[in-house]
Chain A
Amino acid sequence: MPQMSDKVKMSEQTVGGSRMSHFTRVKTKLVNGDLVAKSLTELGIGFTRGSQTIKGFMGGRTNAEFRIPTSNASYDIGLDFKNGAYEVVADWYGVRNFSQDELVSSLNKTYSVLATKQSLEDQGFDLITESKEKNGEVRLVLRRMV
């Protein structure tokens, strides 16, 4: 009977049984419309969704899936799905009550937190802790027993 070589033994152990850890860094893109809608709701931002018309400078118009009305009735903010992700469109010149950087950051952050909870809870993970750090980071720990 052939003997298993040490190399094969090591290979099987690595593929089938050894414990692995990994660290991944992801640059967030908004790709799921339902999660975008949930994020806006969680942020307390009013919106309409569908085939929307976004108003801008000098009566200019463009189309987007989401319309966020602003305090200036002649200017809207839009979110439209292009090139595989949602992009924010607006004539920021006339938008008074939203900052572009703050809106994009808070939307990305809220979307990422909701995406984490949804995808991992669907796989049987329970949220153990959710903490907000002073530097603005949100730390989530999820665990499951298998």
Chain B
Amino acid sequence: MEIHEIEVIVDAKGEVRIQVKDMKGDACLLATKELERLLGGEIVERTRTGDDEPGVITGGNPEEKNRNKLGR
């Protein structure tokens, strides 16, 4: 028997942060697929970590974000 836990934080403007913990293999991403679809599917950022592969998979366009921060 396993326990799957998902934490969802909805901010004051409705943007959503989803944290899925300790699921095996692809079950991790499948668990939130329908939720992401209902939310319109616009993933701003996704970070995936496992026993041996920590790191960012997608994260928008970093060049564009940094350009805006520098005011160029």
Q: Can you name 14 extra interface pairs (CB under 8 A) apart from A16-B25, A24-B17?
A: A15-B25, A18-B51, A21-B20, A21-B21, A22-B18, A25-B18, A112-B10, A112-B39, A120-B6, A120-B8, A136-B11, A141-B5, A144-B3, A146-B4
Looking at A30, A119, A136, which has the most chain B CB atoms within 10 Å of its CB?
Answer: A119
Size band of the A side of the interface?
35 or more
| Nearest CB on A from B8, distance (A) | 5
> Which residues of A sit under 8 angstroms from B1, Cβ to Cβ?
145-146
Q: Is B62's CB within 8 Å of the partner chain A?
A: no
Interface residues of A (CB under 8 A from B): 10, 14-32, 35, 84-85, 105, 107-109, 111-113, 115-116, 118-120, 122-123, 125, 135-146
Q: Which applies to chain A's interface (DSSP): helix, strand, loop or mixed?
A: mixed
Cβ-closest chain B residue relative to A106? B14
Bound together, the chains give a CA A109 to CA B39 distance in angstroms of: 11
Residue from A10, A16, A21, A115 in contact with B39 in the complex, judged by beta carbons closer than 8 Å:
A115
Name 13 interchain pairs, CB-CB below 8 A, sorted by A: A14-B53, A17-B25, A18-B50, A19-B24, A25-B17, A26-B36, A28-B40, A107-B14, A116-B8, A136-B12, A142-B5, A145-B2, A146-B2
B9, A22: Cβ atoms closer than 8 Å: no
